[in-house]
Structure 1
């Protein structure tokens, strides 16, 4: 009864006018009401911009697809309250800052982002946190109610056999690779030169001759943050390597510049921008010592000797990877590379699509035969440092339509996702049936995904 009274007053005060009025000017419009939650036209516009920014697919008319998606979200959020779903605010803040940083990187500056979204950065941050928070609540409901899907092998085979041929995914060529690396020696003179440059930057900043952000834009070798004047966005300690975090989170004065910090990426100076509880926003300038050509040549020669010894059967590639390789990620795994891309179907396995490999490795692997060992070559590692490397191609599965023999895990995931979506769709139909929904007449002429919205 209380729910009906609440909805009644909501309609009396808002829906009869259909508009939110300020000084006789229409500043917004209610286009849907789901339960006792209104969907504003401004929400639809903002959601559309966010989807475009993130390259998300909009199916059909955005002014049909987006309001329905927002309505579905509100049903899940209502269920999150009933299910007492809890989320970590620290994780919400971390993900929100990643979005903000991505917006700035894509558009070019904070000012252009404000212009695009037509709101100041503070409001955008709060709206982004809300978006992330709601997304995590929705995920929480889906995980609680539809997370555990168990299918038998016969059910997976049945799903695969019923797939139309044009729905069977094409699996690009995948490879399995072993690697051995050698780190070239960086002369102390080069390290001293980098430190001298950073000390000069610190002096310019402290004396007021130049701003930290300008120097970062001009000279920092971290391209992702350099375009933002070195700004890293709000993060907690776990977002950084320990050496960086220990110095950065010891800073208290935004007018001070840290001492020089060495990490696996190179050498940094850091400036505090703002602190919020256990999270903070910093600027940094990164410089990487350059490796002289003669040192790169020495590292290549070292690996060439290793290759010769393997060919002469003095030891195996696996033994060389274990005892001689400088690559700490693979040397305890006999040199086998493991896919660390969480978005990949092969995450956690030795299989890679070529575009998931380090580009330098992919270029070398492209024309190799299974079992072949490459000539030593120079590559940029994950930290952007030059190292010498040689690789062995241990397996190649050419591109093909997915089949149960080679791609069982992918098909299993597809079958589980299909079953999960069936369960979600059925749940939503029941929720829609039992929820008050009103849609502005001008927004009704749509082919909605779910039936029952229009009462």
Structure 2
């Protein structure tokens, strides 16, 4: 059982590496390349280092895909550039993960799994913008950094990388999609763990909050609506460029480099409900009237329809709040907090009565853990920002009024409370059933993936070249 647990930890670690947005292996579909003569081999089972030498030989062939020596080196550079920790990770482990990804991608094609071309290209656009923003480089500098002759070559390689990763992801999902565990399997899984090897769960608690947001005046809302109407009229009546309006005026800074462009798919929700409903109601070339979401006010231009996919551009304007409204909101929350402290109302009732946060208002202010979908948060896995807000609170204590920022960037105020604290403890079947169930499900999925991989390795053309044959793989890649 302990070895299986360790395997699960390694699987989780390697899956993380495999699903990074940009895994820079060079994909060559429908091509099998014989072993080439390479430079003097380096020791491949050493821990990854920053100064890895670049080689151009073929390290392996998996079905219709190849893995180059340079793929591994570029992957190391990319992961470090993205801030990933490679401590203790060897070249052999990373090479083995690339082999797994190629095996998944190859069989995804064999199983006729399809991926959306528009979604992949949209991901590439997003990734490039993230790279540019984080690195501070120009597109020309980025292309040169990755040793590509031009932007098109860079985008084409990123497209193939993303497509390969998406195929691998879809194949993995297909393998484990219908796997479930019964209560009896959960019980057996737990009973099979020796008592001295049972997992320890960290300190958990519940977090609740009350949020008060400054109110936007009706005059300010109307000003924003009128401005959006003017943008629409200027485009339709005077031939102005919608994209130029985006660049000059939109408050959606993330989409400005793409001219406000988003690709929506009817089968894959990406935007908030109101945005999608308006976008899908438009005809190609039409511009919507102003409408409101939680982010502010928008107009949408439907640029192109391709089956289920809609290319839309939008302009977002966020109404501004006045200094008086900010002061009034803070004073309101101060009074609410005092009523709770004085015992005149419970925190939960005050949240239901007054909180402006729709997601938690009906829950009495309780935050839902996005990972577990319940109210419990484990301290060691808590979002750092949230942890910073509650770390000094005692059980049942009400925080002072804190200033925060909403999703629109406007100021808001909150008070928080922690409750139902459970200290770190060894797993208990009755108290921790849901967590144990998740572990049992992960174990069962691991076994399914392990079995699938063993079978497919034997059924697939695989050739490992040169010094990589000396790696100690977790899978039977050498078919011994």
- The 5 A counterparts of 1:118-197 are 118=148, 119=153, 121=155, 124-125=158-159, 127-143=161-177, 148=181, 151-153=185-187, 155-156=189-190, 158-159=192-193, 161=195, 163=197, 171=202, 174-197=204-227
- Change in 2 beyond 3 A, CA 1:138/1:215: same
| Equivalent in 240, 246, 250 of residue 271 of structure 2 | 240
Equivalent position of 1:449 in the other structure:
474
1:443–1:316 CA distance, 2 compared to 1 (3 A): closer
Tell me, what secondary structure is at the counterpart of 2:220? helix
Aligned mates of 1:416, 1:95 — CA distance in 2 = 30
The range that moved more, 285-294 or 428-437, is 428-437
Are 2:294 and 1:288 aligned?
no
Question: How far apart, CA to CA, are the structure 2 residues paired with 1:442 and 1:207?
Answer: 68
Aligned-partner SS, 2:415 = strand
Q: Is there any run of 5+ residues in structure 1 with no aligned partner, and where?
A: 1-9, 20-27
Taking structure 2 as the reference length, the TM-score comes to: 0.68
Aligned pairs for 1:193-232 (under 5 A) are: 193-198=223-228, 212-213=242-243, 216-217=246-247, 219-226=249-256, 228-232=257-261
Aligned CA-pair RMSD: 4.5
Q: How does 1:291-310 map to 2 (within 5 A)?
A: 291-310=321-340
- Please name the residue that 2:363 is paired with: 333
Distance 1:294 1:81, change over 3 A: closer
Could you tell me how far 1:204 is from its partner in structure 2? Answer: 7.1
Give the deviation of 1:385 after TM superposition.
Answer: 4.4
**1:377/1:388 contact within 8 Å kept:** yes
1:33 aligns with 2:58: no
Q: What is the TM-score normalised by the length of structure 1?
A: 0.72
Q: How many pairs are equivalent?
A: 419
Where structure 2 has 5 or more consecutive residues not aligned to the other structure, the ranges are 1-29, 39-55
| Distance in 1 (alpha carbons) for counterparts of 2:334 and 2:460 | 71
2:377 pairs with 1:351:
yes
**TM-aligned CA distance change 1:73 to 1:120, over 3 Å:** closer
**8 A Cα contact 1:438 1:454, kept in partner:** no
Deviation at 1:421, TM superposition (A): 3.2
Change (3 A) 1:282 1:434: closer
1:6-65 Cα shifts (integer Å, max 9, x gaps): xxxx99x9538789xxxxxxxx8654334x534252994686677667666767454x44
Change (3 A) 1:136 1:350: same
Give deviations 1:87-110, integer Å, cap 9, x for gaps. 5746x8547634641342233477
The answer as to whether partners of 2:204 and 2:379 remain within 8 angstroms in 1 is yes
SS at the partner of 1:180? strand
Shift in Å, 1:322: 2.5
